[in-house]
Amino acid sequence: MIELNHLTKVYHQGQVKAVDDLNLRVQAGELFGFLGPNGAGKTTTIKMMAGLLTPTSGEVIINGHNMARDPLAAKGSLGFVPDNPDIWEKLTGLEYLQFLADVYRVPAAARQARVEELAATFELQDALGDNIQSYSHGMRQKLVLIGALIHRPPVLILDEPMVGLDPSSAYLLMDILRRHCDAGNTVFFSTHILEVAERLCDRVGIINKGRLVTLGTMEEIKARHSQGEETLEQIFLEITGANLPPERMDLNTSKALNNLGQHAIPR
Ligand SMILES: Nc1ncnc2c1ncn2[C@@H]1O[C@H](COP(=O)(O)OP(=O)(O)OP(=O)(O)O)[C@@H](O)[C@H]1O
């Protein structure tokens, strides 16, 4: 479970309020999508949730542990995938995973089986002996994902996890996120791919200029913000005040969806 209470982050001695009094609860078993235009405050929120940034005020509670008061327990309860998979390039994939398994105190007896299972799921098993510097962006992203799942965290937080993944890997990731939730865990991820959020998430929240502007299931959001058949993209444009025509608004969205091709998005 994730709980954010009055979470606020101010940069530049008060000139930029990146996150403004954010209140949110994401339950166990819930897959939550965090949407917002560029600069809305998504990464800042996620970095505070992961314990990488100190809030100006407010609190983050992960699986019942307060991030400020009990950071080890809070961080031990979460897996984190940052928006850029910058990892130690001189290590092999396996060394990187062993290091994370040490950090998260994964019992030695369980380690090998978990690494093998996750590497097989992401089809990375043949590359684990190679230096990370030889990995493609997508392979690095997969390795970071495996590292984030190595300790079976009850809370998984991901910042734009679909970026850089090919269609089948993106599909695989969505399936894994859904299964992680169905096993009773909490998943929170930011995305620009609105249709992925629409099809995959139990609830979504849209942040704009640091404030949570709407929150709920797709049905709830549509009932609240639309008169008829608007898509999430149209609602998003309307409530974030973006005024580009939909076909130009988010090239990532249409490109990513084209890439996904005929893959059905798992529910
Ligand atoms: N280290 C920083 N110092 C000063 N301002 C910052 C810093 N990091 C972010 N900001 C500002 O805070 C606001 C929110 O940024 P943030 O990166 O959280 O948005 P985002 O929703 O993740 O954007 P994007 O979708 O483009 O990644 C922006 O106005 C940004 O310029």
Annotated domain spans of the chain: 2-77+155-260, 86-152
Ligand 1 and 214: CB distance under 6 A: no
What would the pLDDT profile of 156-205 be if each residue is shown by its tens digit?
999 999 887 888 888 889 999 999 999 999 999 999 888 888 889 999 99
Q: How far apart are CA 4 and CA 108, in angstroms?
A: 34
Share of the chain above pLDDT 70, in %: 90
Q: And the tokens for 84?
A: 């850029």
Nearest to 42 by CA among 208, 238, 161, 221: 208
CA–centroid distance, residue 68 to ligand 1 (Å) = 22
* pTM for the whole structure: 0.89
Atom of ligand 1 nearest to the CA of 9: 12
**ipTM strictly over 0.95?**
yes
CA-47 nearest atom, ligand 1: 18
DSSP codes joined into one string, 217-242 = -HHHHHHHH-SSS--HHHHHHHHHT-
> What's the pLDDT score for residue 265?
53
CATH of 2-77+155-260 among 2.40.128.720, 1.10.3720.10, 3.40.1050.10, 3.40.50.300: 3.40.50.300
- CA 39 / ligand 1 centre spacing (Å): 5
